[in-house]
Amino acid sequence: MGNFSYKDIYIEDGKRVLEVNILPEKYCNFDCIFCPIGRSYNKVDKPQSFQEMESSLKGLESMIENNKVDLVFINSKGEALVNDKISNIINLIKSKGLPVRLLSNGYLLGRNEYIKIANMCDEIIGEIKAISEEDFQKIQRPIDGYTLEEYISNMILFNKQYEGKFILEVTIIKGYNDTEKSINKIKNIITELSPDKIIAERMNDERFKKKLGISTERLDEISKVLLNII
C-alpha cells in the first residue's frame, strides 16, 4: 500500500524498530561515489511532492498498529527531509505515542524549514565522511555551491539548539580520512559538535570494500579514539 517500503522489524536494545523508507526512488543532495543506492539522478535539496502519499501514510499507520513497534526509524533512499510531507509522517508516528529517529546526511540541518522538521524528531543521525574540501567535492559530489565547512557548521549549529539525541555516524574511508591527521580533524569536529552518541564504521558494501575499506584492526583503533571523546 502506497510508496513507502519497510525493512523487517528488528530488535535494538530490547526495542522493536520499524525502519521505513519514505522516498519512491533516490532523491539526495549528494551523489557519493560509494552510495549503496547508486547515482543521484534527482539531486535536489528542495521539498518534493510524491504521489500516493495518503495511501502511504495509511500503510505506515497499519504497519505501526500491526507490529507492536517501539521506535520508527526513517531511513530513506537518499535525503528523507526533501519529502514535502515529512512533517505529516512524523506527526502520524508521534500520534501513536512513538519516538522517531531520522537519518540525514546532515547538510540540510542548517536550513530553517528543515531545522523545524528535525526538531520534531527524538533522534537525528548526521554523518561525516570526507574530511577535506577537495575530497568532499570529489567523493560526495554535493549540489553546486555546497562546502564542507558549511556542512560541518550546519550540524554543529543544529545540535546547539536541538533537544533530542544527536547521533553522529563517522565512516572511515581508506585513503580519504584514515590518517592520523584526518582522525585529529574528526576529533576536533566531534568535540565541537558534541553528539550524544558516535558510531564509527567503514565501507562494508562489497562493491567498495576492496578499494575503500580499512582493516578491522584499524577500525577498532580509530573507534577507541573517537568513542573516547564523549
Q: Contact residues for ligand SF4 (CB under 6 A)? A: 28, 30-32, 35, 37, 40, 78, 105
CB of residue 28 to ligand SF4, shortest distance in Å: 3
Residue number with CB closer to ligand SF4 (45 or 178) = 45
CB of residue 70 to ligand SF4, shortest distance in Å: 26
CB of residue 43 to ligand SF4, shortest distance in Å: 9
C-alpha to C-alpha distance for 137 and 132, rounded to whole angstroms? 9
Q: Return the ∠ at Cα 165 (arms to 198 and 28), rounded to 5°.
A: 75
Dihedral pair phi/psi, residue 8, rounded to 5°: -60, 145
Q: For residue 99, give the C-alpha cell.
A: 519516538
Residue number with CB closer to ligand SF4 (54 or 149) = 149
Residue number with CB closer to ligand SF4 (44 or 229) = 44
Helices (H), 24-140: 53-66, 86-95, 112-119, 133-135
- Residue 18: CB atoms within 10 A of its CB come to 22
**How far are the Cα atoms of 19, 37, 80 from residue 26, in angstroms, in the given order?**
16, 7, 10
CB of residue 170 to ligand SF4, shortest distance in Å: 14
CB of residue 171 to ligand SF4, shortest distance in Å: 9
- Asked whether the beta carbons of 222 and 178 are under 8 A apart, the reply is yes
CB of residue 150 to ligand SF4, shortest distance in Å: 15
C-alpha to C-alpha distance for 102 and 107, rounded to whole angstroms? 13
Q: For residue 101, give the C-alpha cell.
A: 529517529
What number of CA atoms fall less than 13 Å from residue 122's CA on the CB side? 12
- Asked whether the beta carbons of 107 and 129 are under 8 A apart, the reply is no
